[in-house]
Every structure is written in structure tokens, then in C-alpha cells.
A and B are shown apart, each in its own frame.
Chain A
Amino acid sequence: SQQGEEDPQALSIQEGENATMNCSYKTSINNLQWYRQNSGRGLVHLILIRSNEREKHSGRLRVTLDTSKKSSSLLITASRAADTASYFCATGAQGSGNTPLVFGKGTRLSVIA
């Protein structure tokens, strides 16, 4: 079963705008990760945030984590057409570093040039 939900399910924006996606999860976690998937192919790791971190940046990406609300958000600034993809959050349970990832259903982002 899915760990949680991404919100919105689909998002369409103009190039240059910012895109914000949200993720909720259910259980205690060790870390939360965001992945991108282009056209039903393999997933590409974007960013990882540990449970004791509140915010993390990587290039045009900004991730926040609120463990009290069991939620995270991914912000993509100055979006480009190449950002068009599905974005998934994935959680790793507390414990060893090799626990299976539990994914949400994803947000489909369309960036219109």
C-alpha cells in the first residue's frame, strides 16, 4: 500500500513560474526523498532530507519537512519545460539505512513553454 499522498495529483504551469508539490506520510521516518520520473521510465533521485532537518536546498530545488505534521513540500523555482515529469516522495522507515522506500502516487507536472 502507498505510504501517503502527493498533492496535487497534477499541476500545469508556465515556464519560469514556481511549482510546489506536497507530500504527506503516515509513519515515523528516517528520511524523506524526492524522485523524478520522465514518461514512465526510471526514477532519478533529486534530494534527501533527514528527519532531523527542516529545510534543504539543491540548485532550483527546495524541500521542507515537518515531522509533526508528517508532511513535506518540494518547490521548483524558475521552472523549465525540461522539468515536465512525475515527482514522487518516498520515505525510509526508521532503522537501518536499507529499509525499502515507500512511495506516494506522485504529482504530474507539466511546464508549458
Chain B
Amino acid sequence: DAGVTQSPTHLIKTRGQQVTLRCSPKSGHDTVSWYQQALGQGPQFIFQYYEEEERQRGNFPDRFSGHQFPNYSSELNVNALLLGDSALYLCASSIRGIAKNIQYFGAGTRLSVL
């Protein structure tokens, strides 16, 4: 049973470019959440997708957008990249309606913006 998979593992972009990160949730999971983790910090919630719609959003600008596909996989898009967007981007999947709310994380995509 595959866990949460993310691609690519590493990515280098320059300021102003756009980037797309991908995530496949754990088998049987229907909810995908994205987090940004800056160096030396804890992860910060970006947004959450369920039934192909953005359900909750953290304090991130509109440059951050996402999508969820019918197979529950998800993409995170960041436009007009800034140096401050350099971080580890983590995808987490879970099952909606389960009270325990345990989220299973992928290994992350490390984005470097030059």
C-alpha cells in the first residue's frame, strides 16, 4: 500500500516563474492538505481540498492555488515566485469525517527560488 507520494523531490526556479507540485494521497484517503515549511520552522497550512474543491485556506496569498482531481490527487501551483517561497512543501492526506484527524505526510518537495 503506497503512502503519500510527492513529485518532484527537488525543484529550482527563478523569481517570477511559476511552479506546479504534485501529490498522490494514501490509498483510501479523500482529503489533501498542503503545508509550507520554511527552514527551521514548523509546517504552515496553505489549503485543503476535498471533493475537488478548496475547503479551507490558511494565510497565503492568491499566488498559491491548487486543484484536486477525481482520483483525489492534487496539485499546488505557485505563481510569480518570490525568494521567500523557498521552502519544503508537504502534502498530507486524510479521510474526511474521521474524528482523529491523523494526517499522513509525503516526503515533500524542496523548492529553491533563486
Query: What residues of chain A have their CB less than 8 Å away from a CB belonging to chain B?
Result: 1-2, 30-31, 33, 35, 40-45, 48, 88, 90, 92, 96-106
Contact = CB atoms under 8 A, between A and B. Distances in A.
Contacts of A30: 99, 101
Given A102-B45, A104-B42, A44 B105 contact: yes
A43 B101 contact: no
B59 A1 contact: yes
A100 B58 contact: yes
5 contacts: A1-B59, A40-B37, A98-B48, A100-B48, A101-B103
B4 A99 contact: no
Given A98-B55, A100-B33, 11 more contacts: A1-B59, A33-B102, A40-B110, A42-B4, A42-B108, A45-B105, A88-B43, A98-B31, A98-B94, A98-B97, A101-B92
B50 A98 contact: yes
Q: Interface extent on B, as a size class? A: 35 or more
B100 A48 contact: yes
Contacts of B105: 35, 42-45
Nearest to A101: B103
Contacts of B45: 100-102
